[in-house]
Each structure stands twice: as structure tokens, then as C-alpha cells.
Chain A
């Protein structure tokens, strides 16, 4: 089975903490993504990466950074967590840059609560 694994299902962090959300995929995919999911807003793209050490801003990058040191791993970093970053975070991966019918595979999500 293909897999995207997020390191934590639930996290509770304090305001101002530095938070790392980890994502690993075992499909040798080039592309990896971080989304956040909020009620009434759907999924919004935070950052994506199409290669090792490459990163691109999505629609809502403010307050976040990412790291992709290895092809299989894509980390989302909250430099100083704030309560408005309480959300469900979803990691995804896909293959074949340039292919229009690329399916994205998702992890199970990390529900982050910032108190």
C-alpha cells in the first residue's frame, strides 16, 4: 500500500513554541504539499515542494516555513505558534511533474491545538 505518514495525529502546543510537523512518503514522489483544513474554508495550500531543497509558497504561507532535505520527507515548521494556527494539517504527495492527471495521496492529518 502506498503511504503518506504524518508523525502525530494530535498535538497540543503553547503560544510562542516552535512546532515541527513531519511527513514521510514511501512512493518516491517528487511533489509534496502541506495544507491546512478549517471548517467552512476547506483545504488551503501552505507550501509545496517539487524537489529536494526546493520550496514554493502556496496561498497562505505566512507564519510557516518548510524543509525538504530528503526526497521522502517534508517538514512544516511553525516558528512561533499562535492560536490562529490551531487547525488540521494535511500532508500530501504526488508524482510526475507536468502530468495533468496527477493524483495526490494524503496523510491522515495532524490536529494541532495551540493554547
Chain B
């Protein structure tokens, strides 16, 4: 079945550092890929998405590129802020939305001032 693998952390960085959170996936077809973010005490919010190979999703300074050849969707940000501290989930959807998302285990990101 489908699966998503991501680094679990916690990942601790200083403010203004460069961020990469790796995500790789296994899927039988051609999934859509997502990054969700969960701030403390809240539910998940969509951060960005990509629906086909070589698509780049971007939002709030974060970017991720759908790489079919390496089955990856790594999340990057050039300069992180304390407010980026959260848990980040990589996810895929292959069943046309109705079957739900398959999530990675989440990466806890801590940004220190």
C-alpha cells in the first residue's frame, strides 16, 4: 500500500537558518502530494501541495518540488522564524480524495531565537 516516510525529529534550528525536511513516498499510481502544518494546540492546515511531477508548491516562504524520479517531496525554507515552530506532515492522496490522505509520522520543528 501507499506510505510516506519523513524525518521525525525533533529538528532544532536557529532563527534565519535554512530548513530542509525530507519526505519520500511509495505509491502505486500518480499521487498528489501535500505538506500540512500543525501549530501547538491546533488542527492541521494545508501548507502547500503539488499534483504532478515537477510541480512546485509554495506558500509562506516554504517550497517543495514533486520529484517523480526520486519519489520525493522535500520541504525547504531559506530563512526560518521562531513562528515556524510546529509539526510538519508530508502526505499523499491517490484515491481521488475520498480515500483520505496517507500521512508521514510528522517532523517536530523547533526554531530558537
Contact = CB atoms under 8 A, between A and B. Distances in A.
A95 B98 CA distance: 8
Interface residues on A, range: 20 to 34
Contact of A99 (B31, B97, B100): B97
Interface stretch (A11-19, A36-44, A61-69, A74-82): A36-44
A96 B100 contact: no
A26 B23 CA distance: 32
A31 interface: yes
A70 B94 CA distance: 26
A96 to B, nearest CB: 6
B8 interface: yes
Contacts of A90: 43-44
> Counting chain A CB atoms within 10 Å of each CB, which of B31, B45, B93, B104 scores highest?
B93
Interface string A87-102: 0001010111111111
A101 B89 contact: no
Interface in B69-113: 89, 93-94, 96-101, 103-106
Contact of B43 (A48, A94, A97, A108): A108
Given A101-B49, A101-B51, A106-B43, A42 B103 contact: yes
Interface string B30-55: 11101010000111111001010000
A27 interface: no
A43 B93 contact: no
B89 A43 contact: yes
5 contacts: A33-B100, A41-B105, A48-B98, A100-B30, A103-B34
